[in-house]
Amino acid sequence: MTYIPAERDPDGESNADRNREQPTEAIHTTRSAHTNDRTDTISASSDPSVTRPMPSVKDGGRRYDLSPDPATAPIETAPWQDTAPTARQEPTPAPAPRDDVARTGATSRPGPYAAPGRGPGDGSGGYPAQTAGPGAYPATAQQAAPRVPSRDLTFGIFMGQLLRAVFLLAAAVGVAYYALRTVPGQWADELALQEGEKALATLPTSWAPWIDMLPVIVCVFWGVLTLIFALAARRWTPLLVGLVSGLGAVVTVQLLKREFLHKAQLGIQESAMNSLPSGHTAAAAVAAMIAVMVAPARGRTVVAFLGALTTTLAGVATVLNSWHRPMDAVVSILVVACWGILGALLLRCLIRPERWRANRALGSLILGILALAAAAAGMAAMQTVAIDGLALATGGAAILGVSLVCAHQTARALRPRHRAG
């Protein structure tokens, strides 16, 4: 091996003075064994255009021959030079946003690191196509969060609730007029009352005390369940609003029966005293209504449906006991539902929006409409045919249909309209 004398440094100092132990590769002349061709491999020269300085290879005083066989391998960059590139690398331009990112509006992090030593640790880089999301690095630009209203009440909701309450009140007035002031209404109610007495006589005697106490049992059941709901979810404001609404419904029922509604004497019903609306049915409906208002949003439709069924049982029990007629129970349920709608409107003004749930109670609405259709068909059949038990069945279908429709209206009135949370 031969060495080429050190060149003069541009600054005036000799490279040999500073790097006396820096070897340079020799000029090898080889001949091919088969073709006898002469090949010159230049790895260092005095010509700066064809030479490059060799790195320091001093290691414990030993020198390494870095000149590979030119016939088998070219000169490559020494393995310890990969962390110190000789030329400045231009930063890699950021990739264009992907189509799915542009559609969804998500912000992606830059691709591969734009410069050595930069990465997610210093907040200047990230992995390719990494989008903002759970567990990802914070995005550079976040979308503004939607503003959550402080109350779930708008002018449209306010007017809709009022119209719903007016509709229920108008239905109660219409049923009361039909039951007290018309011949078909008094006749259908009286016939259902007589068939109820006959049906109770056919039942086992041990059932009579339970049927008498059925409205009270319903009230106690829903009262205990309401307290459980309030304690579990700390819904004290809905409980207070429900109690106020229930008190208003009970007072309204008593005032209507004793002061404002009077039965016309048409010679059809034996008793001249007015029994419409039913206080027992109103109490059971109020207990169920309060439970619906206090119940969590997730199970509110189920509670409303069960409340309609128990209210129907209480209403039918009053007919079997000859306390009230079917239309007495129907008017009571409508009045309680009207107060429940007003209570739901007040509740929207007092509490923040609940977590959005569907809670459409379509099952109760569909079953209620079918029951009302059956009641209308039974009422029409009563005018032409005489079937034992038809009047009682028609009255029971009317009570069930109205209870289910009112349960649907109450659940809809409490349904959150804003998708908050």
pLDDT in tens, 70-95: 555 455 445 454 444 455 555 555 55
Of these ranges, 1-15, 130-144, 351-365, the one predicted with the greatest mean pLDDT is 351-365
Residue whose pair of structure tokens reads 């088969």 in the numeric block: 34
What contacts 112, CB < 8 A, 6 or more positions away?
A: 92, 125, 128
Using CA atoms, how far residue 232 sits from 69, 295, 414, in Å, is 85, 10, 19
DSSP string, 298-313: GGHHHHHHHHHHHHHH
Phi first, then psi, for residue 231 (nearest 5°) are: -70, -35
Considering only 46-55, 108-117, 236-245, which range has the smallest mean pLDDT? 108-117
320 pLDDT tier (thresholds 50, 70, 90) = very high
Q: What percentage of the chain reaches a pLDDT higher than 90?
A: 47
360 pLDDT tier (thresholds 50, 70, 90) = low
352 pLDDT tier (thresholds 50, 70, 90) = confident
Cβ-based neighbour number of residue 67 at 10 Å: 18
More confident residue, 257 or 43: 257
Average pLDDT estimate for 304-323: 95
- Angle (CA) 328-333-339 rounded to 5° is 130
pLDDT tens-place string over residues 284-300: 999 999 999 999 888 89
Query: What is the pLDDT, as a whole number, of residue 420?
Result: 46
Cβ-based neighbour number of residue 420 at 10 Å: 16
Distance CA(313)–CA(285), nearest Å, equals 11
Computed over every residue of the chain, the mean pLDDT equals: 76
Query: What is the pLDDT, as a whole number, of residue 406?
Result: 95
| pLDDT above 60: residue 415 | yes
Average pLDDT estimate for 11-30: 49
Identify the CA nearest to 320 among candidates 201, 188, 180. 201
Query: What is the pLDDT, as a whole number, of residue 229?
Result: 94
266 pLDDT tier (thresholds 50, 70, 90) = confident
pTM summary value:
0.65
| Angle between helical axes of 390-414 and 300-320 (0-180°, round to 10) | 150
97 pLDDT tier (thresholds 50, 70, 90) = low
Distance CA(328)–CA(331), nearest Å, equals 5
Considering only 29-43, 236-250, 315-329, which range has the smallest mean pLDDT? 29-43
Average pLDDT estimate for 6-15: 49
What contacts 419, CB < 8 A, 6 or more positions away?
A: 356
Considering only 107-121, 276-290, 330-344, 346-360, which range has the smallest mean pLDDT? 107-121
More confident residue, 283 or 144: 283
Identify any residues that bridge with 30 across adjacent strands, giving them in sequence order. 39
Average pLDDT estimate for 97-124: 47
Mapped onto helix, strand or coil, the DSSP state of residue 65 is coil
